[in-house]
Structure 1
Amino acid sequence: MRADVGDDALETLFLPFIDATLAWPSSGGALFLRARDGWPLHQRAWPGLRCEQSFRPAAEALERSGLSLADENETSRVPLVLVLPPRQRDEARALLARAVARCAPGGRVVACVPNNEGAKSGEADLARIAGPVSSLSKNKCRVFWTAPIDGPADAALATQWARADAPRPIAEGRFTSRPGVFAWDRIDAASRLLASHLPHDLAGHAADLGAGYGYLTAELLTRCPGIRAVDLYEAERRALDLARTNLASFAGRVALQFHWHDVTRGIDGRYDVIVCNPPFHAQGRGDRPDIGRRFIAVAAQALNPGGRLWLVANRHLPYEAELDAHFTRVRTVAQDGGFKVVEAMRSP
């Protein structure tokens, strides 16, 4: 999100510091979990602020604004931990537990959630593991914060929640996934439809754009023995780490490269085959068909002459004009369950 675009949750998160309800730490720094760039981060100096973000577009926006990024494997404790919890409940609880664990003795955790995304539940969850909290509401959001704490009020529950988004087997043990990634607890129906129509003669160097936890690449390699290498591009680092695990058994047969990357910014490789189930949301709820259209344009630029794009999308998404603009041959292979599978080819 650009720094000049409104972000109600981000604005409300910083409100207690702007109105002097809370004091920014004079030393020791602050950690911002699931940070997003926006004008509240630039309205005044926030000494010692470091930001953590696993979604590549948001991480790049923070970097472009000159903000310092923290590694999620760090364990140092700081006097202030800010959090924008995600929507998925297990993932959000794990993040709150980690926020408490990263908070130095006498420090505070401050979080903000939009009202329509479970603000009251988020406030109650933080209170359950950290003790009494205070809060205020504005911009249809709720910001809530702990008293100075010296660790979790309920250590057993905090430990339980810290493990709530741990990787676990899904699909009868075929894959490993975790809460918060796309279609985390199942094989996505659209991706399954695409996989079922992949022809066995696909061969050469392939790419998977928006690879998630690796399902489409696994299906491509299982069904198409002529594929000799796959580059996986995924904006969510948590999903990409899962893909590494899920595809480890193929590493001895094909060359695999994993790219933490925002596909909408373009890719450098050249490919014979591209498979894609493009996202049609960013970090908001509204449809974003522009993302899928950009994925199609990037795929067209990255395919070798004669290369083939295999794409699945919701039937209502308007991708046909973009496909016709970039490919010489486009055909709808299947339509089922509200989805469409399309093959598009470049001229040899």
Structure 2
Amino acid sequence: MSADGPDSALETLLLPLLDGPLAWPEAGGALFLRARDGWPLHQRAWPGLVCEQSFRPEADALQRSGLPLVEADADTRHPLVLLLPPRQREEARALYARAIARTAPDGRVLACLRNDEGAKSGEADLARLAGPVASLTKNKCRAFWTAPLHGAADPALFAEWRQLDAPRAIAGGRFTSRPGVFAWDRIDAASALLAAHLPPDLHGEAADLGAGYGYLAHELLARCPRITALDLYEAERRALDLARMNLAAQGARVDLAYHWHDVTTGLGKRFDVIVSNPPFHAQGRADRPDIGRRFIAVAAEALRPGGRLWLVANRHLPYEAELARQFAQVRVVVQAEGFKVFEATRLP
């Protein structure tokens, strides 16, 4: 069970291995890209399975279940590569190419997508890259897999797609980003609204919860010269790596720390200022206002007496009650463009 409901894509992904026509490779095991934990993974033993996951909550869940994690840059090849492709098309195509690169000779790639998340398009993309694929449909999902591979069927397309999610300049060269991270190709409107209203008197040690590729942290430092240290917390490691690039020049002026971390588990540090544009989705489509409420509670725990939280949210998200419960003073700074900016102050 995922936070957004039953994980039908994970269940369907494994059906070709449970019911045929594919056999689990007893020698060499398998690599699972974008792996998620869930009951389907515990129906039987999967000898030699290793997992890769850059989203910290999912990585933590895999570790709690005893499933081994490997780094994204490892180059070991496997007789089977499993993957649950992301929704972002360029990122997904790059992942198909990487899956083929990680497949041993005569190995296969097996993927699965929900029908409402582009399953037919995903199957067609893998076929363009790898040659003919077979498939099955169940649970409103489609699992699809290659024939035994000896590299890509289209080497030129393979080389092109491997670079589709590479870091690149955005916003007129101000920032570096890449497909698949939040608001990857633009400055997010909600974060921009929050940044525009940050007061210059914010000072001391600060944190950015859900820092993304580092835009809001960058603006906080630019607009508030009395900030002396800044900790960035981000659950998606691919985004955090970008934040390191985007704030590298600031390291000479303030102390910077980067945390690949699930904010909902707490911070373990105290701060004078916290800024946040909290996520309101997990890895599914459903709204998850509980995540934002937990960010607010964690911020309240982590702020020193008199500390200030500056937070932006979509106007429809119900955060007022949690802010009032956690903070002595709360005010709406601005409502515009479908968003609302709050300042919340902890009791001295």
SS in 1 for 2:76: coil
Measured after TM superposition, the shift of residue 347 of structure 1 is 1.2
Count of aligned pairs: 348
CA deviation after TM superposition for structure 1 residue 281, in Å: 0.5
- The one-letter code sitting in structure 1 at the alignment partner of 2:321 is A
Q: Deviations over 1:291-310 (max 9, x none)?
A: 00000000000000010000
Please tell me the residue identity of whatever aligns with 1:226: R
Shift of 1:247: 0.1
Q: Distance in 1 between matches of 2:285 and 2:144?
A: 23
What residue number does 1:284 align with?
284
Amino acid at match of 2:53: Q
Alignment-derived partner of residue 118 in structure 1: 118
Q: Does 1:250 align with 2:243?
A: no
Q: Show the counterpart of 2:149.
A: 149
- Report the 3-state secondary structure (helix = DSSP H, G, I; strand = E; otherwise coil) of the residue aligned with 2:342: strand
- Hey, what's the Cα distance between the residues in 1 that align with 2:316 and 2:144? 39
Paired residues for 1:232-271 under 5 Å: 232-271=232-271
Aligned residue identity for 1:222: A
Query: 1:211-250 maps to which residues of 2 (within 5 A)?
Result: 211-250=211-250
Structure 2 match to 1:208: 208
Matched residues in 1 for 2:2 and 2:155: separation? 38
In 1, distance between residues paired with 2:225 and 2:107? 56
* Identity between Structure 1 and Structure 2 (%): 74
Matched, 1:159 2:159: yes
Q: Distance in 1 between matches of 2:18 and 2:12?
A: 10
* C-alpha contact (below 8 Å) 1:82/1:109 kept by paired residues: yes
SS in 2 for 1:251: helix
**SS of corresponding position for 2:13:** helix
1:335 is aligned to: 335
Distance 1:10 1:285 in 2: 16
* Whole-angstrom distance in 2 between the partners of 1:347 and 1:135: 59
CA drift at 1:29 = 1.6
Q: Distance in 2 between matches of 1:171 and 1:14?
A: 41
SS of corresponding position for 1:228: strand
> Any residues of structure 2 matched to 1:1-348 within 5 Å, and which?
6-348=6-348
CA contact (8 A) 1:2 1:61 kept: no
Superposed CA offset, 1:232-288 (max 9, x none): 000000000000000001000000000000000111110000000000110011111
Report if aligned partners of 1:297, 1:326 keep a CA contact under 8 Å in 2.
yes
Letter in 1 for 2:99: A
State the AA in 1 paired with 2:221. L
Gap runs ≥5 in structure 1: none
The CA deviation string for residues 11-56 of structure 1, in whole angstroms up to 9 with x for no partner, is 0000001112101002012000000001111000000000000000
Give, as a single letter, the amino acid of the residue that structure 2 aligns with 1:145. Answer: W
1:316: how far off?
A: 1.0
Indicate conservation of the 8 Å contact 1:218/1:247, yes or no.
yes
TM-score, normalised relative to structure 1 = 0.99
Deviation for aligned residue 1:211: 0.3
Q: AA paired with 1:192?
A: A
The amino acid that maps onto 2:262 is D
| Cα separation, 2, equivalents of 1:97 and 1:122 | 12
SS at match of 1:26: coil
2 CA distance for matches of 1:304 and 1:197? 22
Q: Does the aligned pair in 2 maintain the 1:12–1:139 contact within 8 Å?
A: yes
Q: CA deviation at 1:131?
A: 0.7
Unaligned runs of 5+ in 2: none
What TM-score do you get using the length of structure 2 for normalisation? 0.99
- Give distance in 2, aligned partners of 1:188 and 1:228: 25
SS at match of 2:297: helix
> Deviation above 3 Å: which 4+ runs of structure 1?
none
Alignment check: 8 A CA contact 1:214 1:247 kept: yes
Superposed displacement of residue 116, structure 1: 0.7
Q: Which amino acid aligns with 2:120?
A: K
Q: CA deviation at 1:73?
A: 0.6
- CA-CA distance at 1:6 after TM superposition: 2.2
